[in-house]
Amino acid sequence: MTTTAIPTARERAEATTPKRRPKREREGAAWVFLSPWVLGASVLTLLPMAVSLYLSFTDYNLFDPPHWVGLRNYTQMFTEDPRYWRSVLTTVTYVVIAVPLQLALALVVALALKSMKRGKAFYRSAFYAPSLLGASMSIALVWRAVFNDGGTVDNLLGTGGWVNRPGWSLLAVALLTVWQFGAPMVIFLAGLQQIPAELYEAAAVDGAGRWRQFLSVTVPMLSPVLFFNLVLQTIQAFQVFTPAFAVSAGKGGPADSTLVYTMYLYDRGFVASHMGYASAMAWVLLLVIGVVTAVLFRTSRSWVFYASEGDR
Amino acid sequence: MTTTAVARKPVRWSRIALHLGCLAALLVMLYPLAWLLATSLKPADEVIASLDLLPSHLEWSNYGTAFEGVNDVSVWRLLSNSLLIAGGAVLGNVISCSLAAYAFARLRFRFRGPMFAFMIATIMLPHHAILIPQYIIFNKLGMVNTYWPLILPKFLATEAFFVFLIVQFMRGLPRELEEAARIDGCGPFRSFFQIVLPLTRPALITTAIFTFIWTWNDFFTQLIYLFDPDKFTLTLALRSFVDASSQSAFGPMFAMSVIALLPIVLFFLAFQRFLVEGMASSGLKG
C-alpha cells in the first residue's frame, strides 16, 4: 500500500530545498482544499443570512423591487396576526410533546439493549430503521391513512380519525416523530457502552442496588450524550415540516391545528408571496433556536457531567 | 461479567421478559410498514371497508397502475429523476466535504479557529433562515425549476454535518504515515489523495449513504424548486397523489409509496453497519 508514497530520487532532492517553502505551500494548499466550502459558506450561507435580515424589513414579492417598511413585518407578526401566534403555539406544543417522549423511549430501549447478549445488533438495527424511513413522504402518507377516519387507530380506540380532530391531529404528527426514536437510541447505546464497567463494580461493592447504580453512575456518565440528543432533537423539532404537511394534506388543518411554524412560513413566503414577512419569520425562528440552544447550554452546567473535569 | 454471575437464575427470566418486550415493541414499530405493504396489494373496495390487515387476494394491478405514473409521467421517469438528484448530491457531498475536512483536520491556515467555529455553528443553523435568499439567488440565476438548486450546494460543502463527521474521522487517523510521506517530499495534495483519502473510506461511505437517504426523502426543497411534472421526483409525485386522493386511488398510491421506499430499504439492509455506527459516532464525539 505504501509503494505509491515512495518518492523518486528527484522528489527526494526537492524535499531538501529550503525549509520554509513547504510551509507556505501548505497555507496555499489549505485554501485550495477549502475553496468549495468558502464559496458555499459565503455565497449560500452568510450572504443569504444578511439578505434575509434586510428583506425582513421590506415588503417583497419576488417580482417588484423590495420596498422598505421598517419594523412593520415584525409588529404585524407580533400584534396583528393571530395565525402567527397559533403557529408558534402549535410548534411549541409539538416540541414539548415529541422531544421528551422520543428521548424517553430512546433511553428506555437503549437501557434494555445495553446488557443484552444475543440479538442486540438485530434489535439495534430494527429499531433504527424507522429513523431512516420516517422522513419520507411514503410513511407520512401511511400515517395520514392509519390515523384517518376508519383507519387502524380509529378502529382500535374508537376515537374517530385523529387527523380530522383539531385536538388530536398534532398528536398524530408528534407520534410520527416519536416513532423515529432509533437515531437518539443508537447514540444513547453507544454512550452507555462507553461507561467503564469498574464504576458499576465499585458501586456494587459499596452496596448500591440497580436503581442506585442507575442514578449515581448511569445518569451522570450519560448526561453529555443526553444533552447532545436533547439539543439536536429540539433544534430539529422546531423545524418540523414534512410530517405536518403530509398528515394535513398540505393544509395545516383541521382548523390550523397542525400549522407548524415552518408551514406557515412556507405559506406566507411561497404561497402568498410575502417574502419579506416570511424572512422576518425566519429570523425570529433563528433567534428563538439560538436562545433555546444557549439556555440549554447554560443550564447544562448544573446537570451535565463531563468525566474529564474530575481529573483536575 | 462478574456482576451478572452473582445472580444467575433471576437474570435468565428477566432476559426472556426483555426479549418478549423488545419483540412486542418491534411489532408495534413495524406495523406501519406491514400496513403499507398490505395496502399496496389490496383491492380498491377493501382498503377502508375491511378491517383485516391482509388483503383477501393480492391485487398486483395496483403496481401496474402505479408504474403508469402520475400526470402522464411514468414511474421510471420519476425514479430516474430522483436517482439523478440523489446521485449528484452524493458526489457533491463526498468531494467537497472531504476536501474541506482535510484542511480543517490537517492543515494550518489563517482564521482556522474562527472558520471552524463558524462551520460547526452552521450545523445548527435552521435551513429556513437562508431559504428565501437562496431561492432568490437561484431565481436570479434562472435555475428555478431545474435540478441545480438541489445539487449545486452539495458541491460547495454546505452540509457542514458531513464536514464535521469527516474531520472527526481524519483526526483519529495516525499522523505518522503523512509525516513520513512529507519527509520524503510528498506535498499536501499527494498526501491527501494517496494516504488520507483511502484511509477515510468508512467516513466517506457513511457520508454517501446518509446523503443519498436524506436527499431521497427530501421534500421541502423539491417542493419549492420544481414545478414541471416531468421534472418531479417520486416524493413530489406522491404528494400530488395526496391532492387527488379518492379512496379508489389508495392501492396504486401506496404501491408507489412502496416503490419510493424500496431504495432506502435496500440501502439500509446493505449498509446498516455504516449507518448505525455513523450515527453512534456522530453523537459521541460531538
Flag residues of chain A having pLDDT under 50.
1-7, 9, 13-14, 16-20, 309-312
CA gap B188, B106 in Å, rounded: 9
Per-residue pLDDT at A104: 95
Per-residue pLDDT at A228: 84
Whose grid coordinates read 492543515? B107
Encode pLDDT of B144-154 as tens digits.
999 999 999 99
Encode pLDDT of B274-284 as tens digits.
778 777 776 54
Per-residue pLDDT at A148: 84
Cβ atoms of B241 and B259 closer than 8 Å: no
Q: Does A246 touch chain B if contact means CB atoms closer than 8 Å? A: yes
Separation in Å, CA of B132 to nearest CA in chain A: 7
Which is nearest to A229 in space by CA: A131, A308, A311, A136? A131
Per-residue pLDDT at A165: 85
Identify all chain B residues contacting A128, using CB atoms and an 8 Å cutoff: 272, 275-276, 279
DSSP annotation of A45: I
Encode pLDDT of B240-276 as tens digits.
776 655 555 788 888 999 999 999 999 888 888 777 8
Do B26 and A109 count as a contact with CB atoms less than 8 A apart? no
Per-residue pLDDT at A243: 87
Mean of per-residue pLDDT scores for chain B: 85
Do A37 and B163 count as a contact with CB atoms less than 8 A apart? yes
In chain B (286 residues long), the average pLDDT of successive 10-residue segments reads: 48 80 89 90 72 75 79 86 95 96 91 92 86 91 94 94 91 87 86 91 90 92 90 88 64 89 89 79 52
ipTM here: 0.85
C-alpha cell at A120: 442486540
Residues 6+ apart with CB under 8 A from B165: B97, B203, B206, B207, B278, B281, B282
Q: What SS3 class is residue A67?
A: strand
Per-residue pLDDT at B4: 47
DSSP annotation of B70: B
Q: Does B52 touch chain A if contact means CB atoms closer than 8 Å? A: no
CA gap B53, B37 in Å, rounded: 10
φ/ψ of residue A168, rounded to 5: -115, -20
Identify all chain B residues contacting A7, using CB atoms and an 8 Å cutoff: 184-186
Per-residue pLDDT at A1: 37
CA gap A235, A296 in Å, rounded: 11
Q: Which of A8, A25, A39, A45 is the best mutation test for B, with the most CBs of B within 10 A?
A: A45
Residue A207 Ramachandran class (φ > 0 left, ψ -120 to 50 alpha, else beta): left
Per-residue pLDDT at A154: 80
Per-residue pLDDT at A26: 65
Q: What SS3 class is residue A58?
A: strand
Which is nearest to B279 in space by CA: B227, B211, B206? B206
Q: Does A180 touch chain B if contact means CB atoms closer than 8 Å? A: no
CA gap A73, A268 in Å, rounded: 12
pTM here is: 0.86
A59 - beta bridge partners?
A67
